[in-house]
């Protein structure tokens, strides 16, 4: 198995410490210069190829990337309402993706999307839904938008604002 990227290692350490000891990891000595920046981050957990948790932030909420990763990793493991919290025995089985968000940009229509390259945000008033790019089973722009709409509780015939964004994905 290929060695995990340092962002993924930090996410795994954060999950392991929190699940085992109900404590957050000490990031001292973990923060390299590239982790000083601020960005939104999504952490996705899979177990045996199936989604096990995914939580993220579109815009940064923490002081640096390392803190954003650890917070969202713990949330993905313990606070995703779709799943029971991860237990200690599962942590080493998890495949973890860390997606560092690019700045969302408003677009005029679906023709400006590409499911492999761009994630999508759909907005209608206070409701919004997001779908990351390059996801298994999402093979068309229409499906990408439809899933994001469903996540937001926005009907198919409701007019929406569309935004696209890129991510840097780490595994």
At 89-120, the pLDDT tens digits run 999 999 999 999 999 999 999 999 999 999 99
Task: Tell me, yes or no, whether 122 and 86 share the same domain.
Answer: no
Q: What is the pLDDT of residues 132-149, one digit of tens each?
A: 999 999 999 999 999 999
**Parent domain of 119:** 105-166
Q: What is the pLDDT of residue 2?
A: 66
Considering the domain architecture, whether residues 55 and 38 belong to the same structural domain is answered as yes
The tally of domains found in the chain comes to: 2
pLDDT above 70 for 1: no
- Secondary structure (DSSP) of the chain: -PPPPHHHHHHHHHHHHHHHHS-PPP-TTT--GGGSS---EEEEEEETTEEEEEEE-SS--SSSHHHHHHHHHHHHHHT-TTSPPP-GGGGGG-EEEEEEEPPPEEESSGGG--TTT-EEEEEETTEEEEE-SS-TT--SHHHHHHHHHHHHT--TTS--EEEEE-EEEE-
The pLDDT, as a whole number, for residue 75 is: 97
């Amino acid at each position: 198995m290929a060695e995990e990227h340092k962002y993924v290692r930090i996410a795994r350490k954060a999950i392991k410490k929190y699940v085992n000891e109900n404590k957050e990891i000490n990031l001292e000595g973990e923060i390299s210069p590239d982790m000083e920046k601020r960005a939104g981050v999504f952490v996705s957990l899979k177990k045996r190829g199936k989604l096990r948790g995914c939580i993220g932030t579109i815009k940064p909420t923490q002081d640096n990337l390392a803190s954003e990763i650890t917070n969202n990793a713990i949330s993905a493991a313990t606070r995703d309402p779709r799943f029971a919290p991860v237990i200690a025995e599962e942590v080493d089985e998890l495949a973890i993706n860390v997606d560092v968000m690019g700045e969302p940009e408003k677009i005029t229509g679906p023709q400006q999307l590409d499911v492999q390259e761009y994630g999508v945000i759909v907005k209608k008033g206070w409701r919004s839904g997001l779908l990351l790019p390059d996801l298994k089973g999402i093979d068309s722009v229409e499906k990408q938008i439809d899933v994001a709409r469903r996540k937001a509780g926005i009907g198919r015939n409701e007019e929406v604002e569309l935004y696209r964004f890129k991510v840097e994905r780490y595994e």
